[in-house]
């Protein structure tokens, strides 16, 4: 993790499907970066339907970041809450030598269910990510892990933990824990913190 003085630019994309908690995940990471004194700019894009359509958040951190607009090929890290959306955003934004942290549980589009399109296998997705230039790929079924905790909706906090566990975020894990504790105070706080810690462990175990 670079110090605040050293960090000029770090670009993160969080990609998923509406309803997966993408925006909350990006808010927590961005807030943790602000807490540690970084300049932060955040942008979002939405697909045709806010729930069920593609959603991507762009978190730009660093002293030389002035706009939320992320140019193609400039992302240091893609955090994917859904596998094909991970690949779609990596094609456009991942820089050569960048990293990917991916939930492998697919959300199959209607076109695939109707037999009009084919959903790629996990191996095909990983091979495509490597061809794009991903140097590090951390992947596991975060949705299944969330279900084992008792609530599929905490998958996004597992993925925040996995991003932190990658060792690439220019933010301390303690800052993220503090933001989760403040932002999600209430009856589900303990579950969300467990999800975050689980993601940390899963990510670190693949390195």
**CATH number, domain containing residue 102:** 3.40.920.10
69's CB contacts (< 8 A; 6+ apart) are 43, 58
C-alpha closest to that of 13 among 143, 105, 129, 102: 102
pLDDT for 49: 47
59 domain residue, yes or no:
yes
Q: Is residue 3 situated within a structural domain?
A: no
Q: Measure the CA–CA gap between 201 and 189, rounded to whole angstroms.
A: 19
**Is the pLDDT assigned to residue 75 strictly greater than 60?**
yes
Whether 5 is covered by a domain: the verdict is: no
**pLDDT bucket at 53, cuts 50 / 70 / 90:** confident
Average pLDDT, the chain: 92
Q: Is residue 32 a contact partner of residue 12, using CB atoms and an 8 Å limit?
A: no
Number of separate domains in the chain:
1
Q: Do the domain assignments include residue 92?
A: yes
Non-local (6+) Cβ contacts of 48 within 8 A are none
Is 1 a member of any domain?
no
Q: Give the model's confidence band at 91: pLDDT under 50 very low, under 70 low, under 90 confident, else very high.
A: very high
SS3 content of the chain, % helix, strand, coil (to 5): 45, 20, 35
Asked whether residue 44 is assigned to any structural domain, the reply reads yes
**Best CA proximity match to 64, nearest among 40, 42, 44, 43:** 40
Please tell me the distance from the alpha carbon of residue 4 to that of residue 158, in angstroms, as a whole number. Answer: 26
What per-residue confidence (pLDDT) applies to 5? 53
Contact (CB, 8 A) for 11 and 74: yes
Per-residue pLDDT at 40 exceeds 70: yes
Which H or E element spans position 185? none
pTM, to two decimals: 0.92
Give yes or no for residue 4 having a pLDDT over 60.
Answer: no
Residue 112 confidence (pLDDT) above 70: no
Strands in 75-80's sheet, in edge-to-edge order, are 40-46, 54-61, 10-17, 75-80, 94-103, 136-140
Q: Which domain holds residue 143?
A: 10-205
Does a structural domain hold residue 4? no
Given the DSSP bridges, would you call strands 136-140 and 54-61 parallel, antiparallel or unpaired? unpaired
CB 82 within 8 A of CB 15: yes
Give residue 107's pLDDT: 85
Identify the pLDDT of residue 24: 96
Asked if 83 and 105 count as a contact pair (C-beta separation under 8 A), the reply is: yes
Q: How far apart are CA 157 and CA 20, in angstroms?
A: 10
Domain-located, residue 125: yes
């Amino acid at each position: 993790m670079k110090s605040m003085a050293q960090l000029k630019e770090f670009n993160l994309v969080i990609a998923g499907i509406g309803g997966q908690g993408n925006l909350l995940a990006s808010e927590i990471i961005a807030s943790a970066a602000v807490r540690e004194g970084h300049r932060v700019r955040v942008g979002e894009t939405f697909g045709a339907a806010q729930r069920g359509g593609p959603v991507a958040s762009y978190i730009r951190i660093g002293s030389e970041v002035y706009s939320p607009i992320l140019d193609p090929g400039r992302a240091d890290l893609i955090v994917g809450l859904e596998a094909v959306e991970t690949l779609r955003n990596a094609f456009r934004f991942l820089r050569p030598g960048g990293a990917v942290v991916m939930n492998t549980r697919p959300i199959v589009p209607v076109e695939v269910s109707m037999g009009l399109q084919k959903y790629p296998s996990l191996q095909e997705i990983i091979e495509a990510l490597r061809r794009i230039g991903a140097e590090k790929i951390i992947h596991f079924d975060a949705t299944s892990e969330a279900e084992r905790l008792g609530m599929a909706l905490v998958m996004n906090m597992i993925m925040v933990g996995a991003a932190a566990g990658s060792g690439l975020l220019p933010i301390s894990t303690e800052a993220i824990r503090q933001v989760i504790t403040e932002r999600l105070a209430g009856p589900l706080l303990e579950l969300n913190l467990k999800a975050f810690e689980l993601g940390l462990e899963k990510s670190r175990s693949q390195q």
